[in-house]
């Protein structure tokens, strides 16, 4: 069977700033520009968001009247299978750092189906949970366009010091997932072990993927991701199909060893 040929993905764009706090305003401005372009065209803004250090880096959006929170439709790029109010939950973290501080309608935040204060989330079936989360994505995306995979307007990701992103870990079988939109993992090398994650087919159909990484603990992995993509670390494999684009918002401590060209930030 003949396969459609796609133009090669755009090279990543890397912005580096002196300190983590210098990242906040440019990142917020970038997100606002993406929001405006998208809402002007289709009236809603679909966003996937990670946990870890990322939510705190979105503080430049808090109190900004230009953010149209009622148009945001938020999914989690990955989630730990723990109660939604558990300290390990990415939703709990995003609520604490961002969503509790802004007027986003609760219905626009799509969580996995693990009740708050659930006493034994380990009894929940991971396949059922990932299927249910995929159904939430289908409800948002599949009826609005005929694309085989959802096209997020913006995916906001972090990286671990081992090069993982979402819950896609080095050497794991999930790196080869080509079909499902949401997958589960029960052997995450970083606790907690049981997680759901968006897959590469979803990440690699996004309109924009923004990685945020700061601090000296990311310095070695960032140069491997950007300068040695042939090593195949999970974050290096995020290469959205044309016209999708990857952007990096990093600080100088994290990018100190990066040879890959950096761009001046301008909107």
Ligand X SMILES: O=C1O[C@H](COP(=O)(O)O)[C@@H](O)[C@H](O)[C@H]1O
* Cβ distance to ligand X smaller for residue 65 or 258: 258
Interface residues with ligand X (CB under 6 A)? 50-54, 78, 90, 157-160, 167, 190
- Min dist CB 18 to ligand X, Å, is 20
- Min dist CB 7 to ligand X, Å, is 29
- Min dist CB 76 to ligand X, Å, is 8
Cβ atoms of residues 61 and 102 within 8 Å: yes
- Min dist CB 54 to ligand X, Å, is 6
- Min dist CB 53 to ligand X, Å, is 3
Distance CA 123, CA 120 (A): 6
* Cβ distance to ligand X smaller for residue 126 or 142: 126
* Cβ distance to ligand X smaller for residue 73 or 164: 164
- Beta strands at 182-185 and 195-198: parallel, antiparallel or unpaired: antiparallel
Q: How far is CA 139 from CA 73, 134, 136, 142, in A?
A: 12, 9, 5, 6
* Cβ distance to ligand X smaller for residue 103 or 191: 191
* Cβ distance to ligand X smaller for residue 97 or 153: 97
Distance CA 106, CA 54 (A): 20
Please identify which residue in the block is written with the tokens 């609520």.
95
Across the beta sheet with 182-185, what order do the strands follow?
78-80, 195-198, 182-185
């Amino acid at each position: 069977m003949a396969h459609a040929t796609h133009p090669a993905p755009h090279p990543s764009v890397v912005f580096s700033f002196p300190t983590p706090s210098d990242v906040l305003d440019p990142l917020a401005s970038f997100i606002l520009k993406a929001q405006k372009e998208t809402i002007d065209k289709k009236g809603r803004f679909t966003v996937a968001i990670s946990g870890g250090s990322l939510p705190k880096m979105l503080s430049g959006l808090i109190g900004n009247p230009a953010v149209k929170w009622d148009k945001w439709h938020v999914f989690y790029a990955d989630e730990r299978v723990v109660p939604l109010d558990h300290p390990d939950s990415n939703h709990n973290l995003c609520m604490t750092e961002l969503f509790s501080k802004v007027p986003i309608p609760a219905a626009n935040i799509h969580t996995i189906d693990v009740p708050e204060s659930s006493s034994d989330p380990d009894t929940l079936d991971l396949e059922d949970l990932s299927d249910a989360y995929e159904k939430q994505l289908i409800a948002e995306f599949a009826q609005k366009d005929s694309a085989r995979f959802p096209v997020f307007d913006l995916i906001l990701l972090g990286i671990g010091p081992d090069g993982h992103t979402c819950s896609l870990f080095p050497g794991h079988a999930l790196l080869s997932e080509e079909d499902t939109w949401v997958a589960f993992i029960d052997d995450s090398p970083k606790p907690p072990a049981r997680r759901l994650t968006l897959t590469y087919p979803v990440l690699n159909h996004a309109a924009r993927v923004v990685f945020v990484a700061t601090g000296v603990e990311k310095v070695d992995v960032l140069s491997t991701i950007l300068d040695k993509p042939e090593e195949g670390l999970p974050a290096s494999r995020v290469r959205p199909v044309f016209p999708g684009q990857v952007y990096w918002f990093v600080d100088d401590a994290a990018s100190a060893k990066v040879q890959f060209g950096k761009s001046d930030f301008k909107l």
